[in-house]
Amino acid sequence: MRVGDRVLVAGTAPIWPDGSVDPDPYVQAKRCFAIITSALEDAGASVEQVVRTRMFITDPAHGEAVGRAHGEVMRAARPAATMVVVKALLDERWKVEIEAEAVTS
């Protein structure tokens, strides 16, 4: 969603086009970031313009893997980032769901 100079990408889940979900939290996070990157570009923004990310994980043990994926993708942007452990996500296969906000000006 684009509102003025802001692009908001919410509820990004680690789903592949065929509906499958890889069980590895790092792979899930990388898939979420690939979807986010595509959504940002579709709205006229880039990963380098991301100012805020929110990562929801289902187990504290996934924090390192998800954080590593975040660092690889968001290295240039260095956004304010929050990681929250939640009881569950919509699909029990998901270990992570990610949101991002970018400012384009």
Q: pLDDT per residue over 2-40, tens digit each?
A: 999 999 999 999 999 999 999 999 999 999 999 999 999
CA proximity to 14, closest of 2, 24, 1: 24
Say if CB 33 and CB 54 are below 8 A apart.
no
Q: How far is CA 87 from CA 29, 30, 50, 92, in A?
A: 18, 21, 27, 10
Q: How far apart are the first and last CA of the chain?
A: 16
Calculate mean pLDDT across residues 88-98.
98
CATH 3.20.20.70 holds for 2-103: no
Q: pTM here?
A: 0.95
